[in-house]
Amino acid sequence: MTESPAGAGSARWSAELPVAFSDPVYVAAVVDLLGAIAYGEISAFERLSEDAKMAPTLEDKAELARMASTEFAHFEGLRARLGEIGADPFAAMADFVGPFEAFHRRTSPADWLEGLVKAYVGDGLAADFYREIAAFLDSDTRAIILESLQDAGQSAFVVDRVRAAIEADPRVGGRLALWGRRLMGEALSQAQRVAAERDALGALLSGGVDRPALDLAAIGRLFTRLTENHSARMEKLGLSA
Amino acid sequence: MTESPAGAGSARWSAELPVAFSDPVYVAAVVDLLGAIAYGEISAFERLSEDAKMAPTLEDKAELARMASTEFAHFEGLRARLGEIGADPFAAMADFVGPFEAFHRRTSPADWLEGLVKAYVGDGLAADFYREIAAFLDSDTRAIILESLQDAGQSAFVVDRVRAAIEADPRVGGRLALWGRRLMGEALSQAQRVAAERDALGALLSGGVDRPALDLAAIGRLFTRLTENHSARMEKLGLSA
């Protein structure tokens, strides 16, 4: 995870970076995407370490702190990659501060369980979305994105805690199901806002000489997959989607 | 960093643990000490991730998040060691929640710079203190404690930021010098409280058949060293102690 200073890598491009990087539109899209994911990771770090305060036990608190540290490690990897491709990592993240903060402000968990559901459902949705987009990228960039999406065992922890809470008090299930739907709605609305505003990301999805395009039908199928995966996650938590 | 369940390690004691562990008073003292340091680490994680919110730039925020993640990694190592010696890690930490939380409540930083000074001065003081006590322990336990006290580069970052702020506005130096003195006072008062309440730690310092005792003169010298190191740290920050 060494980081070359922004801009210093340009001489290395032709030698080390895939041919796709000779297309400035492609580079801009990759920088945008890595910037978005990186900011998402550090913002997940913040959210999880904040939610850790609500943990009912020190053991649960440590579990959330572990999840937060994992997100931060992913952030470091993405930041290093941005440096490697000659971008200023923090400039690349700057435009995504607004949408992520808006999402978190609108979905501030009222208690420990809402925080857990948000971590599980939100991270799952983000991971699905980035994984879909990664399919349009060069293999190095794809690899680093997929690595940053790895589940560090948090899913089992969240599923266990949420299911136990519902078992103890079934009314909790109804409240958390509503919460899960709200999370999905807010996430989609922010994602749409970002997609509409970012020309480079849009251009990426419309393909290139050597890259497939994402047409309207494909976008439709993408949304279907995202929605199905969301429902499957809600079901795993014992919640109706 | 695997963790054996609490109690399950007893059969391994005679084979793998140093001879000192056959003394239940020694074991109790080590469990106490590791519990205290471990809770200190997770509480530092919480404090740093909270202070990260006050960061003036995303880069500074990432730096504090990195420091927090480092503290959490130390926590995981100590927790694993507690498991290895047959203790319940969270039970070992429980008694230290009160003193650490009291310290943090009494020294809640009012701004970004106070948070940085607290991280630097507080961690430094804690590290000095634990390093002194580690000298009374078996080499395995000593090694894991010393490892958890390693500076992950945060000192250079804090010194740089604090000195730059004083240069920009010299009045900041006076305020932060007072703040540093208050931190030292509160830390000593909580440490004294813990020492007075923990019989096992007290017994450790009074020595054993094969271990040196810490007599009153030695305690005096210890305090002198702690105070001198504190002054040296304040000076590095550009503050009068």
**A133 or B12, which is more confident:** A133
| C-alpha distances out from residue A96 to A39, A191, A197, B127, Å | 7, 10, 11, 38
CA A124: distance to chain centroid?
8
Q: How many CA atoms lie within 13 A of B104 on its CB side?
A: 20
Quick one: pLDDT band at residue A138, thresholds 50, 70, 90?
confident
Say whether B42 and A58 touch across the interface (CB within 8 A).
yes
pLDDT reported for residue A86:
93
Residue range A162-188: mean pLDDT, rounded: 94
Angstroms from B64 CA to nearest CA on chain A = 11
Angstroms from A95 CA to nearest CA on chain B = 12
Asked whether the ipTM of the predicted complex exceeds the cut of 0.95, the reply is no
What are the φ and ψ backbone dihedral angles of A161, each rounded to 5 degrees? -70, -40
B66 contacts in A (CB within 8 Å)?
72, 76
**A35 or A149, which is more confident:** A35
Q: Buried (b) or exposed (e) across A139-156, using 16+ Cβ within 10 A?
A: ebbeebbeebbeeeebbe
Angstrom distance (rounded) from CA A77 to CA A73: 7
Model pTM? 0.84
- Asked if the C-beta of B75 comes within 8 angstroms of chain A's C-beta atoms, the answer is yes
Q: Which residues of chain B have pLDDT under 50?
A: 1-14
| C-alpha distances out from residue A85 to A2, A23, B65, B138, B142, Å | 12, 13, 24, 48, 43
